Structure 1
Amino acid sequence: IKNRQIGVITLDKELTIDEVTEIFIRINSQGAKLNQSDFAMSKIAANVKYGGNELRKAIDYFSHLAVQPDWYHEMSKDKEFMESKFAPKIKWLKDDREEIYDPNYGDILRVAFMYKFSRGKMKDLVSLLGGRDFETRDYKEEIAEASFGKLTEGVIDFMNEFAFTNFILAIKSAGFISSRLTNSQMTLDFAYTLYLILNSSNQIDKTQIKHYVSKWYVLSTLTSRYITSPETVMDLDIRRISEKGFIDYFKEVEEANLSDSFWKVGLVQDLETSAINSPFFNVFLAAQVHNSDNSLLMNGTKVRDLISIMGDIHHIFPKGYLQKNGITDKSKYNQIANYTYLDTQTNISIGDKAPNDYFKTVFEQCDSKEMKFGNISELSLLKENLSINCIPENIVNMDASHYEDFLLERRKLMAKKIKNYYYSL
């Protein structure tokens, strides 16, 4: 190394963050891909004057402990950090085993920034930490100092045990009890930002915060709000909430996105997919968890239990049965409307039987009381079980020729269940 020449590139302080980003991208084109969070972290770490070096450690250590609580032993070896104001703030993570929301450093920065600055674009954070005055377009030391102060406050509030654990409770109370049901970190980031904003203001009664946070999270998931151009949408949302107040803006967003046509047509179309991690299917499962629904053909075995113990999702029209009858396209037999959480023993008993075969037996066992599939032996319980699992009762007459009709009917029932669930939150 000592015999190699190392190039030094000096950047003009007047360069915009976009120009700096482009330079970094070109220099680093063969290395790891950098993003605005990386630039922000480097800016923070380099600033000893305003405590950026300690702040950087706090962010890194929190994200590490969130995933690996046992790492606290290693962190405690950093004596300098253990004497800082941040160490007591994150000590609680050593006993935390929750995995619904394990934020990385980018998530922590994003949430703290949106919460404290009412902006959504990370490049603005980099500029503010450098002292950028957006009105005069020059750089001022007092802006850099104030920005570091606000960001530090935001990070400390992010790390607060009460706030963090209550946010997790809000998400879980809506039925999202496993990280398998949360497929967008950006959506979680904004939901936590919203929690911190509402918790630090008097916009709504404190007892209603979890209610609105969970509702916003479900709305955002159903409409894929933060999937395409997430920063742009987050920036708009955070500014509108700041300008109009949350309740008024929430009503606007709800009316604009959750019309009758969305529930009756749009959501039904969204459920036409074979993507097992579909956000729409995840919301359906969350609805079942929230309602404490029994799993299909079982009385006492909850969908919640099967998700919690890593139970499997099974086909209502068995895959083997469909393949034998000419439906060999994976995207067809793996439609999410053909999926349900099912007790393993029940699934084994069903095997590759046609729906009009095994469901007929299930109805008959309500008279014979001889259990062959599941454990339901009362007709009223069976009909209720089919209803909560969105299974049309005429499935008892369905074979492979009715598969497409079944899928459409079940999608409509699933969409209706999701609607009722959303408005019950």
Structure 2
Amino acid sequence: MTYLDKIIDTHFTEDYFRLTLPSELNSSSATSPAWYGYLAALNVLGTPMLFSTAPLAHHFAVGTSGGKNSIDKHHIFPKHYLETIGFINDRDRNQIANFTYLDYATNIDISDNPPAEYVQRYKNKLGEEGYRLACEQNALPIDFEKMDYMEFLTQRRILMAQTVRKAYKELCR
């Protein structure tokens, strides 16, 4: 085993993925290494954007614009909706676990609507199995739209860490 392999094995333990990484995802920093690790995992796994069939990696590829006609970083529980239910602190509203990438049209469609409203439209469009798959692929708890916001964040951090773990194992093959 090489020195680098030993360092990797020492750092990326079961406890790292179960405890440390979810804790690192408890942040509102737009430049968090944990957030970038999650995005990298989505790319490794070929995960489509939420409510889409287009892999996120296609929008981060060299030569794509990544501009307004492509994708947007979106609050899963929209920021203005959170204000209406009492979350006025940006640290609470801009949690890493509250973000996903959406194609521009989906972002506009969702706008500031509460999850309980917009998710039903996409459940109808995707079907129950398609909805479950979209949630699984995007580290969202099933029926997240019915959850208390703070519980949603806790559960999503755990699922995001599991996504990173899955991609890590894929890379270790």
* 1:306/1:341 contact within 8 Å kept: no
Structure 2: distance between partners of 1:248 and 1:350: 49
* 2:72/2:107 contact within 8 Å kept: no
Q: Which residue of 2 aligns with 1:317?
A: 77
Q: State the secondary structure of the residue aligned to 1:341.
A: strand
Residues 80-129 of structure 1 show CA distances to partners (whole Å, capped at 9, x for unaligned) of xxxxxxxxxxxxxxxxxxxxxxxxxxxxxxxxxxxxxxxxxxxxxxxxxx
Aligned with residue 269 of structure 1, among 23, 33, 36: 23
Report runs of 4+ in structure 1 exceeding 4 Å deviation. Answer: none
Give the alignment's Cα RMSD to 1 decimal: 1.5
Structure 1: distance between partners of 2:122 and 2:8: 41
Structure 2: distance between partners of 1:358 and 1:330: 22
Percent identity between matched residues is: 30
Unaligned runs of 5+ in 1: 1-246, 367-376
Higher Cα Rg: structure 1 or 2? 1
Q: State the secondary structure of the residue aligned to 2:100.
A: strand
Report the AA paired with residue 326 of structure 1.
Answer: G
* 1:359/1:395 contact within 8 Å kept: no
1:383 equivalenced with 2:129 (yes/no): no
Q: State the secondary structure of the residue aligned to 1:313.
A: strand
* 1:386/1:392 contact within 8 Å kept: yes
* 1:306/1:312 contact within 8 Å kept: no
* 1:306/1:343 contact within 8 Å kept: no
Report the AA paired with residue 286 of structure 1.
Answer: A
Structure 2: distance between partners of 1:345 and 1:307: 17
Whose RCO is larger (CA < 8 A, sep 6+)? 2
Instruction: Give TM-score scaled by structure 2 length.
Output: 0.88
* Displacement of 1:256: 2.1
* Displacement of 1:297: 0.7
Q: Which residue of 2 aligns with 1:297?
A: 51
User: Residues 19-418 of structure 1: matches in 2 within 5 Å?
Assistant: 247-299=1-53, 301-308=54-61, 309-310=65-66, 311-363=71-123, 365-366=124-125, 377-398=126-147, 402-418=148-164
The alpha-carbon distance between structure 1 residues 297 and 273, as it changes in their structure 2 partners (threshold 3 A), is: same
Instruction: Give TM-score scaled by structure 1 length.
Output: 0.37
What is the aligned residue count? Answer: 164
Q: State the secondary structure of the residue aligned to 2:2.
A: helix
The alpha-carbon distance between structure 1 residues 360 and 268, as it changes in their structure 2 partners (threshold 3 A), is: same
Structure 1: distance between partners of 2:72 and 2:120: 24
Structure 1: distance between partners of 2:145 and 2:31: 29
Structure 2: distance between partners of 1:250 and 1:306: 31
Unaligned runs of 5+ in 2: none
Q: State the secondary structure of the residue aligned to 1:390.
A: coil
Q: State the secondary structure of the residue aligned to 1:420.
A: helix
Structure 2: distance between partners of 1:327 and 1:307: 31
